[in-house]
Amino acid sequence: MPDVVTIASGGELRTTGEGPDAVVCVNGGGRAEVEGTWSASIEWLVERLAPRFPGLRFGEVRYRVKSWQRLDLCVEDGLAALASLGPRRTLMLGFSMGGAVSVRLARDPSVWSVVALAPWLPDRVDFSPMDGKRLAIIHGALDSPLPGIPGVTAKSSRRAFERAVARGVDGTYTLIRGALHGVAVRSPLGGSTIPLPRASAWLAHVSDEITRFQEAGA
């Protein structure tokens, strides 16, 4: 069973698995300054990734406040999670706004790569923390914000990826046909996760990146 602890920032960290290297997962967020939650997309992935990669620790971060207006707080929570885990090498897995959080966290010496799922990476995001590191962006082709429904267009993440590549950052950009914004949603009945269309494709691409991460450290 996953362990949940309060980290130094006041956020929470849920860990699964053992090992010297880690996959640290950070959630999205919107404009409203609301209490942090566990990400349904990340939770669905971790439940399937952890058995595949028993030599890794998976850490899911629950922010104190999940809002891009309090991005600094989200980054503080991520840094506290890294300090709590003390990994030798880290892969950051960021969903939506978690993409921007992960890029900021790439300044930490332990971070080897960032895997950004449907990432929110506005033009003001500084990619200098990614120098010498790997960036993999995975996005759903049908992702788009709608009234009352969060989303990030693939066009915007593609533009961000091109900025990173122009800077010299190594990476890949993958578009998943038929996929929406995210991998899973939370059921209102019981809180279980429900996979969205093409969830298996998200899982396969993330697995490939984690395999690359492990092989690079072997």
CATH number at residue 44: 3.40.50.1820
83: Cα separation from own chain's centroid: 17
Say if residue 42's pLDDT is above 90. yes
Domain count within the chain: 1
d(CA 174, CA 117): 10
pLDDT confidence bin for 96, thresholds 50/70/90: very high
103: Cα separation from own chain's centroid: 10
pLDDT confidence bin for 2, thresholds 50/70/90: confident
d(CA 160, CA 169): 11
Q: Which domain holds residue 184?
A: 3-217
**Is residue 42 a contact partner of residue 10, using CB atoms and an 8 Å limit?**
no
> Within 86-198, where are the H helices?
98-105, 154-167
The model's pLDDT over 148-161, given as tens digits with 9 standing for 90+, comes to: 778 999 999 999 99
pLDDT of 199 reads 98
> Does 190 or 140 have the greater pLDDT score?
140
Residue 86: phi, psi to the nearest 5?
Answer: 60, 45
pTM of the complete model: 0.96
189: Cα separation from own chain's centroid: 25
Instruction: Record the tokens describing residue 203, joined without a space.
Output: 């899982």
